Chains A and B, each alone.
Chain A
Amino acid sequence: MGKIVIEPLSRLEGHGKVTITLDEDGKPKDVKLHITALRGFEQFVIGRPAEEVPRIVPRICGICQTAHHLASVKAIDSAWGVEIPEVAKKLRELMLVGNMIHSHALHFYFLAAPDFVLGVDADPAIRNVVGVIDKAPEVAKQAIALRKFGQSIVEAVGGKAIHPVTGIPGGQSKPLTEEERDALLKEVDQMIEYGKNGVELIKQINEKFMDQIKTLGVIDTYYLGLVKDGKHNFYDDTLRFLSPDGKEKVEFKPEEYLDYIGEYVVPYNYVKHPYYKKVGYPEGVYRVGPLAMLNVCDEMETPLAEEYRKEFLEIFGFPANQSLAYHHARLIELLSACERAKTLLEDNSITSDDIKTDVEPKAGNGVGVVYAPRGVLIHNYETDDNGIVIKANMIVATTHNVPTMEKAIQQAAQEIFK
């Protein structure tokens, strides 16, 4: 009996390792995914004035920091019973789609594409973003432009491209100026074009790798996503579970999440395993993120992306259960985020300075949910009379996916060692 340890897992954020225990015949007996780092944010936001927390929690992740900033400030607004001005909501949504554009572009072009562009058998020493720049400069150029556009949106609206600061209880601390808006608007059509190119590119790549896509990491799970009136939504509204066979949809509001989502502590992982409570653990493990979002929604909220969603389901079936179809789904969302950015930037009220309402801290309990680039993100805090945090719970996007990632790696290991 032997053991294979893969560490560090590369080209992803965070720290992980995989252990594969082999039986006498060299077949995988037990495959585990371990997340090997813990920082303890849920503990160390306790005692902090709530308005400071949106400035602390972005450091959970340097890639999807904006999503943490926004889920956090939404949770406090809700704990203190504040309704923020419409323009502030639009600014926050714009900030989030900016983050989505940067992160989705990063994930596909910088982290995943080296495998496709250079081939999975290429020398590990060149299988990275520098290799992509060498081998496919036009693709690299568009990837860089998309990331830059996304980060410029976050910087203009959020004050900083990484770890933004403008979300405060009651609204936003800074309006978007007309000059900033005009500069972004000038770029947006080009970005939609690049977004379309991205989807076309993944379609070509998929054709080459269809064998692997249809066999590796194919698992049936529940899916969790965010919808508004049934439509795909990045920023707001209703959580929706979809059953593995695609027949059952269950909707609930963010503040009801504890009735639907539980987390199970497993001994070999710093990250807890979340599951759908009505089904139980481990049968109720579920996936979040682009694949889940496309499965869960009835339609996309933007027109070009909606066309591509229909095509996507034709290729992969419903619900699409192939882990490698995540890339395709992600690129459709990237396009949708560019389209959504355009709608928001063309909204005349976006440069208004009616962005903040008066707030009084009070004792309360609030939940803030957004769709982060890796999937649904939940922040929940309780505050005392002075607005100091006394209790906190966060279920971050990647966490939801950890048990199902483990499942997908188990399935892939079985296939590969067959």
Chain B
Amino acid sequence: MIQLCGCSGCHISLLDLHEKLLEVLPNLEIVYGPIVADPKEIPEGIDVFLVEGGIRNEHDEHLIHEIREKSKIVIAWGTCAAYGGIPGLGNLYKKEELLNYVYSTDSTENKGEIPSEEIPPLEEYVKPIKDFIKVDYTIPGCPPTPKMIADAIIALLNGEEPKLPTKIVCDECSRKKENVFPETFKRTYEGKPDPERCLFEQGYTCLGFATRAGCGAKCPSAGVPCRGCFGKTDRSLDLGANAANVLANAGEASLKIPDKVALLNRFTLPDALINRKAK
């Protein structure tokens, strides 16, 4: 397992199997995994490689090819690897813009100097790993639930294919739906939502209807709208486009939603049909 342009949350989610780790781990041999183990070279002949994170710099790109060559099965582990994830929001800016900004914030002393020695240069844009290599399976989620990771590992140990939920988050959500369409949209800090009713029907921009199930509708259960972190379902081509279609039914009101591009593509911009800012 490895972390490319990710946050290590997918690794931590595996550890969140807690005592079940004691059942899963002894059946595995971790031959490479810098976050938890010391071997420095990627060995040959790996059965399964779990890849966390997308491709942000030249080193990531180099590694993903090496990983493919040395592994039988490569898994896009988590939404960053599968669709680019949150770091993909960087695609809304040009690489130079991003670097210039980061190295000239208020607390920076020598503003505008950009580091470039002995560190891998950034690629123009963030991309999911499947833009570079053939990916055998995907386990989406930011992060995927511990159970999804364990199920996939166990399936592979048994020589089966890992399976993903095919439904949408709304199907797992216990909030009551009355099939009404909101006339205006609210931002999350506005008012106190009714704890029983569908957030979308109350005017909050919940994306559960466009998002793959699997998390157990965690965000709406905690009183905040889904932001689409599990990505699209098998049947849809593009999460953002799908969601935009539904929101557009509200007509004028939907035009007033702020920051639509980053809302509808919060976790999936690098994999969207339009995946970067037009120059």
Q: Taking beta carbons and an 8 Å cutoff, which residues of A are in contact with B?
A: 6-15, 17, 19, 32, 34-40, 42-44, 46-49, 51-52, 55-56, 58-63, 65, 106, 110-111, 124-125, 127-130, 133, 140-141, 144-145, 147-148, 151, 158-163, 165-166, 168-170, 173-174, 257-258, 261-270, 272, 274, 281, 356, 359, 361, 380, 386-388, 391-393, 395
Contacts and interface: CB of A to CB of B under 8 A. Distances in A.
B219 A165 contact: yes
Contacts of A43: 90, 93, 97-98, 101-102
Contacts of A60: 7
B137 interface: no
B37 A124 contact: yes
Contact of B223 (A37, A55, A161, A173): A173
Contact of B109 (A65, A169, A265): A265
A163 to B, nearest CB: 6
A404 to B, nearest CB: 17
B101 A11 contact: no
Interface string B190-206: 00100000000000000
A106 B262 CA distance: 33
Given A9-B34, A19-B118, A269-B119, A356 B101 contact: no
A147 B223 CA distance: 25
Contact of A59 (B7, B93, B218): B7
Contacts of B101: 40, 42-43, 46
A21 B39 CA distance: 22
A44 B92 contact: yes
Nearest to A166: B222
20 contacts: A8-B34, A9-B34, A36-B119, A40-B102, A44-B93, A63-B8, A125-B31, A125-B37, A127-B37, A128-B38, A133-B26, A145-B19, A148-B18, A160-B222, A165-B222, A170-B189, A265-B113, A270-B115, A270-B119, A281-B109
B9 A51 contact: no
B59 interface: yes
Given A48-B259, A56-B86, A393 B107 contact: yes
B36 A162 contact: no
Contacts of B119: 34-36, 268-270
Nearest to A123: B38
A267 B114 CA distance: 7
Contacts of A151: 16, 18
Contacts of A141: 19
B164 interface: no
Nearest to B108: A263
A10 B222 contact: no
Contacts of B114: 265
A267 B115 contact: yes
A110 B87 CA distance: 27
Contacts of B118: 17, 19, 32, 34, 268
A47 B36 contact: no
Interface string B138-181: 00001100000000000000000000000000000000000000
Contacts of A39: 5, 56, 87, 90
Contact of B92 (A32, A36, A47, A270): A47
Given A43-B102, A395-B107, 15 more contacts: A7-B40, A9-B34, A38-B57, A39-B90, A40-B98, A51-B189, A59-B9, A61-B7, A106-B12, A110-B15, A128-B33, A133-B21, A158-B222, A162-B143, A269-B115
B258 interface: yes
A388 B39 contact: no
Contact of B11 (A62, A380, A386): A62
A49 B205 CA distance: 13
Most B Cβ at <10 Å: residue of A19, A37, A173: A37
A387 B93 CA distance: 21
Contact of B110 (A12, A125, A264): A264
A96 to B, nearest CB: 17
A387 B258 CA distance: 10
Given A59-B9, A165-B222, A359-B189, A148 B34 contact: no
B144 to A, nearest CB: 10
Contact of B189 (A13, A111, A168, A261): A168
Contacts of B12: 62-63, 106, 162
Contacts of A356: 192
A218 B163 CA distance: 51
Interface in B92-126: 92-93, 97-99, 101-103, 105-111, 113-120, 122
A392 B105 contact: yes
Interface in B1-52: 3, 5-13, 15-16, 18-19, 21-22, 25-26, 30-31, 33-40
A26 to B, nearest CB: 21
A128 B30 contact: yes
Contacts of B15: 106, 110, 147
Contacts of A133: 21-22, 25-26
Given A34-B119, A166-B224, A270-B119, A386 B258 contact: yes
A66 to B, nearest CB: 11
Given A10-B35, A130-B30, A263 B107 contact: yes
Contacts of A9: 34
B115 A268 contact: yes
Interface string B203-240: 00000000000000011011110010000000000000
A274 B262 CA distance: 31
Given A36-B120, A39-B56, A173-B223, A163 B8 contact: no
